[in-house]
Structure 1
Amino acid sequence: MHRLLATEAALAGLTAALEQAKAAKLDRPAPTLVERTDLDRLLPAGAVHQGLVLDAAPLPEVDLGDIIREGSLKDGDLVVLLDQVTDPHNVGAILRSASAFGASAVVLPDRNAPEMTGTLAKSASGAAEVVPLVRVVNLSRSLTELREAGYLCVGLDESGGKTLAQLPFPNRVALVLGAEGSGLRRLTMERCDEIARLPTSGPIGSLNVSNAAAVALYELARLR
C-alpha cells in the first residue's frame, strides 16, 4: 500500500479504523487529504470511489500448483473453475461466494476472462484479497492436473443426469461452471469426472452463473 487519498468527509468516517491500525502497530501510509475533484481526475470515468482511493501494488500471483500443494494438506479442499465467464460482476460475485463457503481458489483461463479491475474487486466485496484468482493457460489441462492430484472434477450443467446431492464426494472437489448461454465447452466437459445439475424446475430452469455458483457451493459445503 503506497498512498491513501481521502476527502475530508471520507477521512472522518475512517477515524476509528485508523485508530485500530495504529493501536495494532500496523505499518500503513498516512492519509493524504484531497478534494473530490482530484480523485475524479485520477480515476477512470465512472469509477465509484466514495471519497477514498488506495494506491496499492497488484495482488501476488498464485500458481495452480501452489493451490494443489496446499490442498493436499487440508481435510477437504474445494476449487472453483470458470470456463469463459467474462462478466467481471459475475466473477466478483463468485469470488465472494467462494470465500463464504470455503473455496481455496477461483481458476480462470488467461483468455476470455476479465482482468482484476475495480469493478471485479468491488463486486467481490473484499473476497479478492482472501481468495486467490488463479489464471491458467489451458483450463482442460488444469482439470487433468487436478484429477491427477485426487480432485473430483464436477461440471455444472443442465444436461447433468444427477444432482450434486446424488454424487459421492471424496476429500477434494473441483467445481466447474461455464458461461451463461453457451455453458461448458465440450472439451471442458470431457475433462470432468461428473456432470451434475441443480434441482431447478419451472418455466425458467437456469440461473445466472454467479447465483448457480452460490447455490452449488452451499450444496457442496452441506454435503461435505
Structure 2
Amino acid sequence: MSTGRDRTWLTRYHKERRKNILAGPGPHEFVLVLDQLKAGFNVPKIFRSAEAFGAAAVHLINIGPFDPAPAKGSFRKVPAVFHEDFGACYQLLSDQGYRFFQLRADAETPLYEVDFPARSAFIFGHEEFGFSFGQDSYADIEPLAIPQFGSIHCLNVSNAATIAMYEYVRQFN
C-alpha cells in the first residue's frame, strides 16, 4: 500500500520527467549509462553531479520512478534517455560514435591511465547485482577501476560516477 509520501514523490517524478523533455545537453559530450540501478537515492544524486559536470545525457536502463528531490532540480536539466535493456542503449550510443567504459572494482586499468575521447560513455551497474549484460557480448567495453586503498573495495555508485565525471572533465579543461 502506498503512503501519501510515496504519492508525493511519485507525482514529483512524473512532473519532473515531463520537464526533462526540454533538457539540453551540457557542454561536454560524455554520457552516463545507469544499468539497472536501484531507483532510490543514487539515481537523483547522479543527475545532480551530471548537471554539475556538464554531461550530455544520462541513459537509464530498466530503472523505474525515483524521488527527484535529491537531484536539486538537475533531473529537469540533464537529458534522460530511458531504455528497457542494455542492447538498445549500446546500439544507440555506438551509432553516435561513443567509446564505452565500464566502472568495476575488479578492473586492472585505473581510471586515470586512460585518455578519454570526447564521446565517452561511462557505464555503472547495480551495486549488489552488477551489470545486466555479459562482458563477452560487448568486447569493446573497457573495464576501469577507481583505485581504492581501504578494506572496502567498492564505492557508492553515485560517488564513483562523480569521480569518473571529474576525471573526464579534468582531461578536457
Query: TM-score under structure 1 normalisation?
Result: 0.64
1:45 aligns with 2:4: yes
Which structure is richer in relative contact order (CA contacts within 8 A, separation 6 or more)? 2
Aligned with 1:102 (options 31, 54, 59) = 54
Shift of 1:196: 0.3
Instruction: Tell me if 1:77 matches 2:25.
Output: no
The equivalences for 1:12-161 within 5 A come to 45-46=4-5, 58-59=17-18, 76-109=28-61, 111=62, 113-115=63-65, 117=66, 119=67, 121-161=68-108
Shift of the alpha carbon at 1:56?
5.1
Match of 1:166 among 113, 132, 152: 113
CA contact (8 A) 1:155 1:176 kept: yes
Equivalent-residue separation in structure 2 for 1:75 and 1:92 (angstroms): 20
- Residue 61 of structure 1 deviates from its aligned partner by 6.6
Residue 90 of structure 2 aligns to which amino acid in structure 1?
A: L
**2: CA distance between counterparts of 1:57 and 1:173?**
26
C-alpha displacement of 1:165: 1.3
Identity among equivalent pairs (%): 30
**Which one has the largest radius of gyration?**
1
In structure 2, the CA distance between the partners of 1:124 and 1:193, relative to structure 1 (3 Å rule), is same
- Map of 1:218 onto structure 2: 166
Distance 1:199 1:75, change over 3 A: same
- Per-residue CA deviations over 1:107-134 (Å, capped at 9, x if unaligned) read 112x3x121x4x2x10111101101221
CA shift, 1:59, in A, is 1.3
Give structure 1 stretches of 5+ with no counterpart.
1-43
Choose which of 195, 201, 206 in structure 1 pairs with 2:143: 195
If the length of structure 2 is used for normalisation, what is the TM-score?
Answer: 0.80
CA contact (8 A) 2:17 2:75 kept: no
How many residue pairs align between the two structures? Answer: 165
Indicate conservation of the 8 Å contact 2:50/2:165, yes or no: yes
Stretches of structure 2 that go unaligned for 5 or more consecutive residues are none
2:153 corresponds to which of 188, 205, 209: 205
> Which structure's residues are more often strand, by fraction?
1
Q: Which amino acid aligns with 2:156?
A: N
For residue 142 of structure 1, report the CA deviation from its aligned partner. Answer: 1.6
